Amino acid sequence: MNENNENGLELPNTEKNSDTANVKSEVKEEPPVPWPERIKKLASWFTVEPCLILYFLAQIISNIAIEQLNQEKACRTYLHYNETICTDIIKNLKNDNRTHELRTEISLAVTNVNTYLVLLQKCTPGILLPFIGAWSDRTGNRKVLIMMPLIGESISYSGLFFTTYYFVEWPLWLTALIESLPTALSGGFSILLLGVFSYIADVTTAEARTFRMGILSIILPLCSIFGQSISGTLLNAVGYYGVFTIALALNSLSLIYTYIKIYDIRNEAMEGTFIAKLISFFNPYNIWDTISLVIVIPLQQRIRVILLLCAFVFITGPIEGTGGNAYQYYTHRYLMSTVEISMFRTYSTLVPTVGTIVAITVFSKYLKMHDSLLGIIGTGCKIVSYVVYGLAPTKQWFFAGPAFEIFGNVGVTAVKSIGTKVVDPDKVGTLISLLEITDALQASAVIPLFNEIFVNTINTLPGAIYFLASILTLPAFIIFGILYFLQKKQERDVVENPAEKEKHAYDNDVTAL
């Protein structure tokens, strides 16, 4: 009931309202989600990532074993020295003038064989990419793109068992062919990445896709660091057979997982005869659909895309060229053991990974640096580090090189990030494919060039390949400077739409990892 105050006015009964308010104020507390459920929910996010991790780990762990196997094969089968001499050279047990001469002969033999095989290993995926990418887009078949490289790697690891067993009977060139041919014909890492990224795009929203790509950009360097840190010790502990068994097991697990757990969201069968399917697969229009990106787009976009492609070539070319001769350089100039090479590769991967994280989080997100400025920093670090690697007189100085390369990986990240903002959203996939094709084709020209220079300067100036790498990276540094100038000019131009002007001023986050 209502009550009257002393002035005779009727007051509302607040007791009931107070009770109602108390009831309404009660908040329903949901019970906490158990940890098993949280883990299960987190695991449901990951579909194709485990297969990529297993494949990548197998490659990293086996790399140093394959490189040492090639050196031993060169000594035993190509140069025909006995086992005692070859063991002294490979294990660095002697360091006299004669041993130094023999080590030079081995390095030259391995380099010469690799020069020919790189054409097979790099060109084949580059030729397949535009055809198989268009076919996959039409049919929605992503699973095949992932399984093909896994099958090729399994064949390669199996072949390495035989070439190890028939150590003296099978020559160096056959060993290198067994390692490279199955990988090349199955597409290798380029086709696998194309399948993985296409599958993620099919099964996720745009928001979730960013998260998934970010996870991959963190996981792969971590796998590389882990694999490289144990590869040298693992080789000494279990030998060639043990390393190749582990690599084959990891790769087979990846293949089985992909076959059982990965399903195509959209799978449209191609109609017609086998010949008609082949003609459709190798349709020249597939190539035009890719290269038209730099022809039919507006002039301003075209200029930036061409500059980005050139920058990409000048960044990745020296990386491929020096990487192809790195093992020979380590063992010939600094007499590194497999464990020391493993330690150096771990360290030289870890430092730039940390630098990339700092660049993305601090330079880009907080300091609002434009991507082109990040590219200038990244290529500048690369140029300086190449000079340090080339001039380092001792092993200790050489180990200082990665410190100068701390932001060296940012250059490639900046290229892809700028590219995603230059082209239309529906052309981003085409741009990434074009970058992959460019990378595969330029490596087939750059690696033989670096190999030839290394062969001719190994006794006079072994660091010449790093000086060449520094010179070739300089144009990328200049290109990023031009892109930065164009961006600043665009910001100064009067834009009628304020929202568009704001976009030009602050659209500088690194989005493509």
What's the number of domains the chain is made of?
Answer: 2
In a domain? residue 502: yes
Per-residue model confidence (pLDDT) at position 116: 78
- Regarding whether 326 and 209 lie in a shared domain, the answer is no
In a domain? residue 231: yes
- Regarding whether 495 and 445 lie in a shared domain, the answer is yes
Per-residue model confidence (pLDDT) at position 301: 84
**What is this structure's pTM?**
0.77
User: 4: which strand partners?
Assistant: 10
Is residue 57 within 8 A of residue 227, CB to CB? The reply is yes
- Regarding whether 324 and 432 lie in a shared domain, the answer is yes
Give the chain's end-to-end CA distance (angstroms, integer): 69
Please state, in angstroms and rounded to a whole number, the distance separating the CA atoms of residues 144 and 103. 43
Phi, psi dihedrals of residue 4, rounded to the nearest 5°: -100, 140
Mean pLDDT (10-residue bins), the chain, 513 residues: 49 50 50 70 74 93 93 90 87 78 88 81 78 76 89 95 92 90 88 82 67 71 88 92 96 94 73 67 73 79 90 94 91 89 91 88 83 93 96 93 92 84 71 79 86 91 95 96 88 59 46 39
Per-residue model confidence (pLDDT) at position 13: 54
The domain that contains 77 carries what CATH number? 1.20.1250.20
Domain boundary, last residue among 282, 309, 338: 282
- Regarding whether 390 and 469 lie in a shared domain, the answer is yes
Write down the residue that tokens 């520094």 correspond to. Answer: 470
CA dist list (Å): 213 to 46, 205, 400, 458:
11, 12, 31, 41
For residue 507 the two structure tokens come to 């659209």
Strand ranges, E, within 1-134: 3-4, 10-11
Look at residue 14 and give its three-state secondary structure: helix
Please state, in angstroms and rounded to a whole number, the distance separating the CA atoms of residues 216 and 56. 12
- The DSSP bridge pattern shows strands 3-4 and 10-11 to be antiparallel
CA-nearest of 94, 93, 101, 95 to 75 is 101
Please state, in angstroms and rounded to a whole number, the distance separating the CA atoms of residues 358 and 349. 15
In a domain? residue 13: no
- Regarding whether 307 and 256 lie in a shared domain, the answer is no
- Regarding whether 460 and 313 lie in a shared domain, the answer is yes
- Regarding whether 455 and 355 lie in a shared domain, the answer is yes
Give Cβ neighbours of residue 244 (< 8 Å, ≥ 6 apart).
Answer: 62, 65, 157, 160, 161, 164
In a domain? residue 122: yes
Residue 91, domain extent: 47-263+275-282
In a domain? residue 409: yes
Please state, in angstroms and rounded to a whole number, the distance separating the CA atoms of residues 203 and 206. 10
Please state, in angstroms and rounded to a whole number, the distance separating the CA atoms of residues 123 and 251. 23
In a domain? residue 258: yes
Domain boundary, last residue among 255, 282, 309: 282
- Regarding whether 56 and 190 lie in a shared domain, the answer is yes
For residue 419 the two structure tokens come to 């590219």
- Regarding whether 323 and 181 lie in a shared domain, the answer is no
- Regarding whether 385 and 247 lie in a shared domain, the answer is no
Question: What is the crossing angle of helices 49-73 and 206-261, to 10°?
Answer: 60
Domain boundary, last residue among 282, 313, 341: 282
In a domain? residue 32: no
- Regarding whether 247 and 370 lie in a shared domain, the answer is no
Please state, in angstroms and rounded to a whole number, the distance separating the CA atoms of residues 419 and 401. 30
- 96-130 in b/e form (b: 16+ CB < 10 A) is eeebeebbbebbbbbbbbbbebbbbbbbbbbebbb
In a domain? residue 467: yes
Per-residue model confidence (pLDDT) at position 429: 63
Is residue 315 within 8 A of residue 412, CB to CB? The reply is yes
Please state, in angstroms and rounded to a whole number, the distance separating the CA atoms of residues 25 and 383. 64
- Regarding whether 470 and 420 lie in a shared domain, the answer is yes
Contacts 24+ apart (CB under 8 A), 451-457: 451/111, 451/112, 451/114, 451/115, 451/118, 451/324, 451/325, 452/115, 454/111, 454/325, 454/328, 454/329, 455/108, 455/111, 455/112
| Helical H segments across 142-263, by residue range | 143-165, 172-186, 188-203, 206-261
